[in-house]
């Protein structure tokens, strides 16, 4: 598996409130590593996680799993 370098941003609506860089083999693992919380695919949650693959600039959107509030 290829390790990806990802920028992980915790978001409220369209505004980033924190960011970290994490290395992982998948974007959702990078989100979990950076936030310390499990994530799932985002629908329209107000609190969410944007992950940008720094290699190919692909953006992924995740929400915290039920009961997980992140490091807000």
Per residue in 25-71, pLDDT tens?
999 999 999 999 999 999 999 999 999 999 999 999 999 997 655 45
| pLDDT tens, position by position, 3-27 | 899 999 999 999 999 999 999 999 9
- CA–CA separation, 61 vs 50, rounded Å? 5
pLDDT band at 72 (very low <50, low <70, confident <90, very high): very low
pTM above 0.95, yes or no: no
């Amino acid at each position: 598996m290829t390790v990806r370098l990802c920028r992980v941003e915790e978001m409220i609506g369209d505004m980033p409130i924190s960011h970290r860089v994490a290395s992982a083999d998948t974007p959702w693992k990078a989100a979990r590593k950076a936030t310390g919380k499990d994530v799932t695919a985002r629908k329209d949650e107000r609190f969410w996680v944007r992950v940008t693959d720094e290699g190919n600039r692909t953006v992924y959107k995740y929400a915290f799993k039920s009961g997980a509030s992140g490091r807000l």
